[in-house]
Amino acid sequence: MSAPAQREVAHPTVDDVEFRALYKKTKYVVETADGWSLVITRYRPTPQTFPQPLFGEPMLLVHGFCQNRHAWTSGEFVKNLLFFGLDIHILELRGHGKSSIAFQHERCARFGRKLPSDLDYAWDIDSYFLYDLPAAVAGVRRITRREKIFYCGHSMGGILGYGYAGIHDHFEGIVTIGAPGEMGRGSFALKLLAFAEPVVQSTVDATLASLNLQRGMLHTAAELGSKLFRRTPPDAPKPFRYRYLPLDTWLKLASDALGYAEESPVLGMIAARVNYLARWDRMQMDNVRWLLKEGGEKEPRLVVEQFARWARANELVCYRTGYDFKRGFGKIRVPMAIIFGDQDPLASVESTRSVYRSAKSDYLLWRPVKGNSHIELTMGHDARQVCYDIKNLIEYARTHRARAPSLPRIR
């Protein structure tokens, strides 16, 4: 038997295995308390001939701002976790991916119920925290028949995880990737944007109001003309409104621009230096372009406003209930890994330190990944190491399930 064949039979690496051979994919729907139907995509592991040390352990993945399920699947993040045998459940928050507005119309028509009251991009981060995440956690627990599950959130998804872990006992372990505990700390650019946000919003609203007034006057003149010449009056124009950021459109344009950059040495050199949220040298360009084209979503203005308010006031608060995420950091006792890029302007040593210092977890990993920014940790060259960090956390949690609480952790 040849050497490659011996390695494949004895103990293959993740590169030796086809992705599709590792799972059976299904999807299921969970219902929120305020009337949304959210889709969870499940990658259920299939038994292999090689060791799968985490086989059947359920993990919920939650994406970040303006993203969807492709944030996890554009690279090999999910494949690496499936190689260990994890049972992966990917939530798409309201209005994102398969949990789209169109899907709500379809479900409500099918079951004869009212549409959600905030369907027209009228939700905020509180909606994700109070309704979407609890529904998803309950759904995964029900489907897997587990009292506790593992959680992994990227960026905003990690922030939601911090908040949830501070008041609920449904996580057996939590991993956050690029998730700050203090919005804007250590990033002058983000602080500047946060303080500029109210002015930008007001300017946009005033500009749209002026355009609507002009269009209304033109419509009135057209109506008078139609009466004078006995013609059918024109339909009234729909007013322009700023309801969301069209990030999906912007990201598709960025994907096309990267395509041109690949063909142009000058543009390619410029793109390689635009590394604010992503290090292109850490990712395969095909994966990047796929994520930009398929992985972007519209994000409501209320979500943007809440992020900006958090950064301006240096707080993480659910404004509807008054719950302070930061006060909940000290109540997190389950194994936790806080992972971020050492070149990430959003999640850095400064902005994640408070979570690390406050948490009471016996197992607590606080790790910057060298040379990485914000996006590539779930799809870049170092995603495999992040997955090994997740594996180590879960293995620790499994071996300590039946043990009594330990003495306070020495820092």
User: What are the sequence ranges of the domains in the chain?
Assistant: 3-187+299-399
- The H or E element that residue 329 is part of is helix 325-329
Number of neighbouring beta carbons within 10 Å of residue 312: 15
* Three-point CA angle 262, 264, 266, nearest 5°: 115
Cα–Cα distance measured from residue 251 to residue 120, given in angstroms and rounded to the nearest whole number: 21
Please write the tens of the pLDDT for every residue from 162-175.
Answer: 999 999 999 999 99
Q: Which three-class secondary structure state does DSSP give residue 299?
A: strand
Place of tokens 């959210």: 38
Cα–Cα distance measured from residue 131 to residue 320, given in angstroms and rounded to the nearest whole number: 12
Evaluate whether 98 touches 69 at the Cβ level (below 8 Å). yes
Query: Please, which residues have CB within 8 angstroms of residue 15's CB and are 6 or more apart in sequence?
Result: none
Number of neighbouring beta carbons within 10 Å of residue 368: 17
Cα–Cα distance measured from residue 386 to residue 381, given in angstroms and rounded to the nearest whole number: 10
Tokens, residue 50 = 């090689």
Please write the tens of the pLDDT for every residue from 260-275.
Answer: 555 555 445 445 545 5
* pLDDT over 70 percentage in the chain: 90
- Count of residues in the chain: 411
* pLDDT over 90 percentage in the chain: 67
pTM for the model stands at 0.89
φ, ψ at 392 (rounded to 5°): -60, -40
Please write the tens of the pLDDT for every residue from 356-408.
Answer: 999 999 999 999 999 999 989 999 889 999 999 999 999 999 998 765 444 44
Phi-psi label, residue 97: left if phi above 0, alpha if psi -120 to 50, beta otherwise: left
Residue type, 25: K
Confidence label for 92 from pLDDT (cuts 50, 70 and 90):
very high
CATH of the domain spanning 3-187+299-399: 3.40.50.1820
Residue 410 has pLDDT above 90, yes or no: no
Tokens, residue 36 = 């949304």
